[in-house]
Amino acid sequence: MKKKYEIIIEYIEELAEKNELKQGQRLPPIRTLVDKFECNKSTIIRAYKELEMNHRIYSIPKSGYYLVENNSEENEENGSIDFSLVVPDSRLLPYKEFNHCINRVVELYKNDLFIYGDTEGFKSLRASLVNFFSEYQIFTSMDKICITSGSQQAISILSKMSFPNGKKNILVEQPTYSLIHKLVEINGERLIGINRDFNSINLEELENIFKNQDIKFFYTIPRLHNPLGTSYSEKDKRCIAELAEKYDVYIVEDDYLADLDKSKKSLPIYYYDIWERVVYLKSFSKTFMPGIRLGAVILQEKLKSEFLKT
């Protein structure tokens, strides 16, 4: 025999299935269901909590419970997949979970979300990122993290801000992330390229460029490179960090797909940097929501103040 709260869950599900209860619509008040099913208030609350845990509904304090969008229908159209977009199939995205989480965030942080906050970014987010980064062998503190509107904003600021070495030119791998060319050009800096193939880069050539070309920073994607898809060896990453210190060059490490390295055996250049030469850049646009434009940058104190005012 079914329990009373299970009957109530089925009733709500049936209303949604018959379209008598639509997306975003407020569910019947608890008092109404208490009278309808002749039960106590705690039974209705349990039913609603079960539905909320299953992402079928969400709650708004002092307002009630609302129905989450039902995305069970899949797009069965066949066609080609454009890998250049570097985004997952829309059918794989957990819309219900995103919807539920966003509503919970508004509920919990409404007093902070709609006002200007810390220049570095939302404090609790930066605190959470400290733990997130540590899982990928990136050990830092909340004070060194700045939240940005995606990686593009971070790269743009870094390309036009002054660095302690007083140098001007920016070195990039060829090929590399295409938009960095436009961002550097807009900011009036000179771009220099170094060839990267499926194996690595020529470290002797890199040293020669560091030594003679007045390089402010070297923009690199060491892990899961776009568009090559390859990663530097640990030996090469350690050597790049050492060369940066030797020739007073900074490294801007774009680690936008680190999440896909499930083995977590490949380390970032940041891990080998004991001289505070690496600026670590992480975008969440490809793994979360591109439209939200969420990124983070880890900066040493001597760079952070300049970054925030640029």
Q: What is the CATH number of the domain that holds 57?
A: 1.10.10.10
pLDDT of residue 190: 87
Two tokens, residue 6: 């299970």
pLDDT of residue 189: 77
- Asked if residue 77 is part of any domain, the answer here is no
Same domain, 205 and 269: yes
- Asked if residue 80 is part of any domain, the answer here is no
pLDDT of residue 72: 47
pLDDT of residue 83: 61
Q: How many domains does one find in the chain?
A: 2
CB atoms within 10 A of CB 168: 14
pLDDT digits (tens, 9 = 90+) for 141-152: 999 999 998 888
Q: Are strands 250-254 and 278-283 parallel, antiparallel or unpaired?
A: parallel
- Asked if residue 78 is part of any domain, the answer here is no
The Cα 296–Cα 207 span in angstroms is 29
Sorting pLDDT into bands at 50, 70 and 90, what band is 103? confident
Same domain, 57 and 173: no
| Alpha carbon distance, N-terminus to C-terminus of the chain | 67
pLDDT digits (tens, 9 = 90+) for 224-277: 888 888 999 999 999 999 999 999 999 999 998 887 776 677 899 999 999 999
Same domain, 163 and 271: yes
Two tokens, residue 176: 């590399």
Same domain, 227 and 297: yes
Would you call 80 exposed, middle or buried from its count of C-beta atoms within 10 A (0-12, 13-18, 19+)? exposed
DSSP-based three-state secondary structure for 108: helix
Q: What does the mean pLDDT of the chain come to?
A: 86
- Asked if residue 285 is part of any domain, the answer here is yes
Highest mean pLDDT among 34-48, 165-179, 208-222, 292-306: 208-222
- pTM higher than 0.85: no
pLDDT of residue 74: 44
Two tokens, residue 220: 């690199």
Same domain, 145 and 244: yes
Domain of residue 63, residue span: 1-72+86-110
pLDDT digits (tens, 9 = 90+) for 54-95: 878 888 777 788 887 654 444 444 556 666 566 666 666 667
**In the predicted model, is pLDDT for residue 193 greater than 70?**
yes
Same domain, 103 and 122: no
Overall average pLDDT of the 86-112 stretch? 73
pLDDT of residue 241: 97
Same domain, 65 and 123: no
| Length of the chain counted residue by residue | 310
Same domain, 56 and 144: no
Same domain, 133 and 104: no
Same domain, 264 and 125: yes
Q: How far is CA 176 from the centre of its chain?
A: 20
Same domain, 147 and 165: yes
**In the predicted model, is pLDDT for residue 50 greater than 70?**
yes
- Asked if residue 79 is part of any domain, the answer here is no
Top pLDDT among 71 and 162 is at: 162
Same domain, 162 and 288: yes
**In the predicted model, is pLDDT for residue 289 greater than 80?**
no
